[in-house]
Amino acid sequence: MTTRREILKSAIAPLIVPSVVLGQRAGAVAPSDQIVFGGIGIGARGAHVLSKLLGFSQAKFVAICDVRNERREEVKSMVDQKYGNRDCQMYDDQYALLARQDIDAVLIATGDRWHTPLAIIAAQHGKDVYCEKPCSMSMEESWALADAFRRYNRIYQAGCQRRNGANFELCKELLKSGALGTLQTLYANVGPSADWPPIPSRDWLEAEKLPPKQVLDWDRWLGPAPWRPYNSAYVRGGWRNYYDFHGGGILEWGSHTVDLCHWAAGLDDTQPVEYEPVGTNVGPYKVLCKYANGVNLVMRDDGWEGSLKTGSCSFRIEGDQGWVETGDATRIESSANIKPLLRPTESASLALVNHVADLLRCIRTRQMPRASAAAAANSHIACHAAFIAYQRGRKLTWDPEKREFGNDDIANRMRSRALREPWRV
Amino acid sequence: MQQTAQPAPAPQPAKAKPPAPPPEFQEGDIARMDAAALIRILTDSSSPEFQKAKACQRIGELGAKEAVPALSALLGNEHLSTYARYGLEPIADPAADDALRAGLSKLKGNLLIGVINSIGKRRDAKAGPALAAMIYGVDADVARAAAAALGKIGGVSSKKELQAALAKTKGMTRMAVADAALVCAERLLAEGKRDQALALYASLSAADMPKPARLAAMHGIIREETSVSRPR
C-alpha cells in the first residue's frame, strides 16, 4: 500500500511556485509578468467587460473565439486598435483557443447555456476564468461548476461585479458593524416581469433559412441547449425568455441581487430552506424565502429602478435597529438612525473596474476572489430553487446538505437539465 | 494598476420582444397533460416534432416510468435525442438505465455520446464494462465521454479501469481520462475509500500526466492530507 509519506513526497517535489504568483514588480509590467487572456463569446456585455480588462497593463488579451464571424472580427478590431497591432487571433473552436499554453485565463460572455460547460472545460485546461452571469442553467450545473474549480484549484470570478461596488460594500459594513442590529430580512430585486417573466416560454419561433456555417455555426450556437429550428431573432439577442436558453427573471437579476444578499449577510456557503412563490407570470411577483438561521430573504419584482428608485439591481438589508437599500444609482437610502453613518461612495459604475482588478489580484496571489465559483453556486442554487417553486406554484422546502426538496418529487426532477450531445458538465 | 475609469452604460431595458411563436410551436396544453396523453403523442407517428419534444420534457418532470419505451425509441433521432434523455434522466426506475444501456450498442457518434453522458449522470454501474471498452475505440469523442461517465460512476472498478487507461491513452483522450480519474478519486473519498483515492491521486501526479490534472491531483493530496478529518 502506498504510504502517506510516499504520496506527499511524489506530489510536492515537482511543485515550483511561478514568479507571477509572488507579486508584481514595481514599474512597467514586463510581458512575462502579464496575465494573458483569451475570450469566448464576446458580445455587447462581454465587450464592456473586455474594455475594462484592456485598461489594465497587467493583462494582455490575445485571442477571441466565437461562432459568429462578425463577432470575431469586432473583438479583434477592438483589441488590435487598443494595442496598435494586428496580433489578436480569431478562433471558431474553443478547444483550439484553450490549447494555447500562453493563455492563462479566459473571459466567457456567451449566452447563458454555454457558461457552465465552457467554464469547466477551461478549468480542465488549467485556465482561470471570468464568466458572465448567470453562471449556471440548473442546480446540477451549479454544483458541477463549484466542484470543477475546487478540483482544479483555478480562479473563477463570476460577473457579479457589485460585490466590488463601494455603495454595496458600505451597506454590508453597516450590517457587519452591528449598526443595523440583528439581521431580519434581506430583499433582492429580481427581473422585472415586464421584460423577464419568472417563467420563460417553452415555445419555438418559426424556422428560418440557416445562414452559411462560416457566418453562423447554428449547431455550436445552440451548444448544450436542446435542438430547435434556426430563427435569427434568437441570435440577435432574443434568446432570453425561452426556457431552453434562459433561467427566467428570478435568475436573470437574482444572480446579482440574491448573490449580494448572500455576500452581505455572510451566507455564501448555504441557501434558503423555504421558498414560497407569490404572484403570477405577468405582474409583479415575489418569492418569500427563509434561511435555516431564521433570516428572511424576499426576492421581489420592484421594476427596473426599485421602489425607492435606488437603481437597477437594488438590494435591501433590514435589521431590528435599522435598514439600508442601494442599487446601481449609487445612492443609499436608509432608516433615519443610519443616515449619520452614511458617507459618499465612488460611483457604482466603478464596481466592474474593481471587480476585474480583484480577479487580476487573485490570479496572481491564488486567493479566492469575491465572486468565487463556490459563492456563485450557492446564490444561483437559491435562484434555481425559487424558479422551481414558482413553476410548481407552491411553497417548497429545501435541504442544502442533502441537495433535495423535501416535499415535491417533481421539483426534485427539475434540479437538472439534459444537455445536448456531446456536451456535459 | 493603470486604469482609466469609464462610467458604465446605464442599464438598458430588455430588447424589443421577438416575433410571436406560430401556433404549431406553442406548448399549450402539453404542459398540463398526464403521462398517458404524453405517451400517445410520442407513439403517434403523425405527431409533430415540436409536440414530441415538449412531451419528452414534461415526462421528465413527471418521472413516468411507463414512458420509457416511447422515450428510448427517440434516442436515435438527431433532433429529439436530447429531449428523449430529458425525459429519461430523471426517471428513477431501473428501466431507464436499461434503455440507456441498450443505446450503447445501437448508436454512434454524438447520439451515442449523449446516451453515455446520461449514463454517467445516473451513475449506472452496470454500464461500467461497456464504457471501459469504449475508451479504446476508434471514435475519440466517444472514448472521452466513456471515460467521463466512468469517473462519475466511481467505485473501485472504475478506478482500476481509469488507472489502466492513463497508461494506454494519449493526447485529449488521456486528458479526459485524467479528469475522470480526478472525479473518481473524489467519489472514492466520499465513500470512505481514502487509500484508493490517494493512490489514484498519486498516479495522476506522475510527471508525464497532463499538467492541469497533475496539479489538480497534487492539490487533492494536499487538501486531503491537511484536512482536519483525515485519519491520524
SS3 sequence of A99-147: CCCCCCEEEECCCHHHHHHHHHHHHHCCCEEEECCCCCCCHHHHHHHHH
- Looking at the complex, does the CB of residue B31 fall below 8 Å from at least one CB of chain A? yes
Cα dihedral sign for B118, B123, B128, B132? positive
| CATH number of this structure's domain A31-162 | 3.40.50.720
Q: What is the ipTM of this complex?
A: 0.92
pLDDT at B23 (0 to 100)? 95
Contact B1 A58 (CB under 8 A): yes
pLDDT in tens, B150-204: 999 999 999 999 999 999 999 999 999 999 999 999 999 999 999 999 999 999 9
Strands A59-65 and A35-40: parallel
- Looking at the complex, does the CB of residue B179 fall below 8 Å from at least one CB of chain A? yes
pLDDT in tens, B119-162: 999 999 999 999 999 999 999 999 999 999 999 999 999 999 99
DSSP label of A407: S
Residue of A151, A201, A235 best to disrupt the B interface, most CBs of B under 10 A = A151
Nearest CB among A48, A52, A421 relative to B113 is that of A421
Class of domain B26-103: mainly alpha
Tell me what percent of chain A is helix, strand and coil, each rounded to the nearest 5. Answer: 40, 15, 45
pLDDT in tens, A108-156: 999 999 999 999 999 999 999 999 999 999 999 999 999 999 999 999 9
For the record, the C-alpha cell of A236 comes out as 440577435
A409 contacts in chain B (CB < 8 Å)? 63
pLDDT at A29 (0 to 100)? 84
Q: Please determine, for residue B223, whether its predicted confidence score (pLDDT) is greater than 60.
A: yes
pTM > 0.90: yes
- Looking at the complex, does the CB of residue B60 fall below 8 Å from at least one CB of chain A? yes
Name the band, by pLDDT with cuts 50, 70 and 90, for residue B2.
very low
A350 contacts in chain B (CB < 8 Å)? 5
pLDDT at B172 (0 to 100)? 95
Contact B60 A51 (CB under 8 A): no
Class of domain A163-198+246-344+373-413: alpha beta
Q: How far apart are CA A242 and CA A380, in angstroms?
A: 18
pLDDT at B16 (0 to 100)? 62
Q: Domain extents for chain A? A: 31-162, 163-198+246-344+373-413
Contact status, residue B55 vs residue B38, Cβ threshold 8 Å: yes
For the record, the C-alpha cell of A336 comes out as 433615519
Contact B14 A206 (CB under 8 A): no
Name the band, by pLDDT with cuts 50, 70 and 90, for residue B11.
low
- Looking at the complex, does the CB of residue B76 fall below 8 Å from at least one CB of chain A? no
Q: How far apart are CA A403 and CA A3, in angstroms?
A: 35
What integer best gives the mean pLDDT of chain B? 93
- Looking at the complex, does the CB of residue B138 fall below 8 Å from at least one CB of chain A? no
Q: Please determine, for residue B76, whether its predicted confidence score (pLDDT) is greater than 70.
A: yes
The residues of chain A scoring below 50 in pLDDT are 1-26
- Looking at the complex, does the CB of residue B226 fall below 8 Å from at least one CB of chain A? no
pLDDT at A1 (0 to 100)? 44
pLDDT in tens, B78-115: 999 999 999 999 999 999 999 999 999 999 999 999 99
Q: Domain extents for chain B? A: 26-103, 125-232
Name the band, by pLDDT with cuts 50, 70 and 90, for residue B4.
very low
pLDDT in tens, B14-54: 556 668 999 999 999 999 999 999 999 999 999 999 999 99
Nearest CB among A201, A350, A416 relative to B5 is that of A350
Q: How far is CA A389 from CA A138, A278, A289, A324, A397, in A?
A: 13, 10, 10, 28, 9
Q: How far is the alpha carbon of B56 from chain A, nearest alpha carbon, in Å? A: 11
A419 contacts in chain B (CB < 8 Å)? 82, 117
pLDDT at B13 (0 to 100)? 52
Contact status, residue A220 vs residue A66, Cβ threshold 8 Å: no
Q: Coil, strand or helix: which one is A176?
A: helix
Who contacts A224 (Cβ-Cβ below 8 Å, separation ≥6)? Answer: A113, A114, A117, A137, A419, A420, A423
Contact B62 A410 (CB under 8 A): yes
